[in-house]
A = this chain, B = another copy of it.
Amino acid sequence: MFESPKRLKRALMVIQDGVGDRPVRSLGGKTPLEIADTPNFATLARTGMCGLMDPVAPGIRVGTDVGHLALFGYEPLKTYCGRGPIEAVGIDLDLKPGDVAFRANFATVGEDLTIISRRAGRIRKGTSELAASLNGMKLSDGTEVIFKEATEHRAVLVLRGNSLSPLVTPSDPGPGMEGEKVLKMLPLAPTSDAQAKTAQLAEEFSARAHELLHNHPVNLSRQNKGLPPANYILLRGAGVKREMRTLTERFNIRGACVVAESTIKGVAKLAGFTVITDPAFTANLDTDVIGKAKKALEALENHDFVVIHFKGPDIASHDNKPLEKVRFIEKVDGACGYILDNLSQPDTTYLALTADHSTPCEVGEHTADPVPVLISGYGILADRVDSYDERSCAEGALGRINANEFLLSVLDLIDASYRIGC
């Protein structure tokens, strides 16, 4: 059923995760954005205003969660609640006040709790049955366990009880730590009763889950096939949900986000956005780029602000594959071309290009380098920048701004403004 737009003007924001880079030796000292053939980005730059954007502030590195919280209008230094609650929202778990949510991984451990595979061999099937066997567990003090699988090896644990605290250390030693033992979970402040109790309950859950998973039919069948059993739940990112006004409510807009990755889904839902996804959207380099463009065009028919998220650049960067990054950027450029060709209201639709953070290929992780940004559309004061890349955008009229400011600048163009004074 067609619903007419609430506002006359609309905006589409394209987020290329981790697209910002530094000069790459194998690309002759150019960045992937500088090397990529991107005629549509160039059109947008020529007709738009460019700049450099810090997710939070110059010199501060952010995770994907914090980078997106900032792009969706939250001030991370004030409102960051930990990764657990964001993941929980991403898979539609309803958190109540006092609930402590953890990111969880299905993992494989040996007898002395040595980690054999931190992702249980990237398990994909059977996780809902495994999760069901843990969900509903009652811990010794009556605390309730809510446990639900997410994509692949990922899951979320929620502890629902009295006087719990998110300030506990993780049991997960982190990526690349196979061969290490599972960490003992501890209170951050040893003098806090709530923290000590929560750490102890998380340890109790982990031990009982280990026992239950050990003999679970899914794992017996995996072992018969020579696959590593998902016999342990690694925990990290504990947090409690904060009550925050949604972006859509604050600015009286209808928002939609075309996305595959669960973290970004969580942030988008927190912000009040409709999440639009599809099995062909993989949060990886093989995602259906044009499919996302089509969904975004559809969403623009009855939303004021549409965000498309592409995970590809970040994946290629973490693996130090600059040429794959270049190729993916060119696909996103193609998707922007498709959008430009098919906008139903080109005179009243603004296009914005941005990223959540930089992930330079040669560094292989997020850095604090600012990312190039661009806004294009009717009435924009086009500057002299004619290319969307790190060095060109440094000379743009937007100057150097942060992600909150960039978002507000885009919203202002569609008259969804933050105004003070009369």
Contact = CB atoms under 8 A, between A and B. Distances in A.
Interface of A: 22-23, 31, 52, 56-67, 69, 76-77, 80, 83, 236-237, 360, 362-363, 366-369, 379-384, 390-391, 394-401, 404-412, 415, 417-422
20 contacts: A22-B380, A22-B381, A52-B399, A58-B405, A58-B409, A59-B405, A60-B419, A62-B420, A63-B419, A76-B420, A83-B421, A367-B412, A368-B408, A369-B381, A381-B394, A383-B391, A391-B397, A395-B397, A400-B400, A400-B401
Contact of A58 (B23, B381, B401): B401
Contacts of A236: 422
A394 B391 contact: no
A360 B422 CA distance: 17
Contacts of A83: 421-422
Nearest to A410: B59
B397 A399 contact: no
B379 A22 contact: yes
B401 A368 contact: no
Contact of A61 (B52, B396, B398, B417): B417
A142 to B, nearest CB: 31
Contacts of A31: 381
**Most chain B CB within a 10 A radius of its CB, from A404, A407, A409:** A409
A390 B52 CA distance: 18
Contacts of A383: 391, 394
A56 B391 contact: no
A58 B60 CA distance: 19
A408 B23 contact: no
Q: Kindly report how many copies of this chain are found in the complex they form together.
A: 2
Given A59-B405, A59-B408, A399-B52, A421 B368 contact: no
A64 B369 CA distance: 29
A420 B58 contact: no
Contacts of A396: 394
A398 B391 CA distance: 10
Contacts of A395: 384, 395, 397
Contact of A407 (B59, B363, B406): B59
A76 B421 contact: yes
A9 to B, nearest CB: 10
B368 A66 contact: no
Contacts of A23: 379-382
Contact of A420 (B56, B400, B409, B418): B56
Given A61-B420, A65-B422, A366-B419, 12 more contacts: A23-B380, A23-B381, A58-B405, A59-B406, A59-B407, A59-B408, A59-B411, A60-B420, A360-B379, A369-B412, A381-B391, A395-B397
Contacts of A412: 59, 61, 367-369
B60 A418 contact: yes
Nearest to A61: B419
Contacts of A407: 59
Contacts of A404: 59
A383 B379 CA distance: 27
A418 B59 contact: yes
Contact of A409 (B64, B368, B380, B391): B368
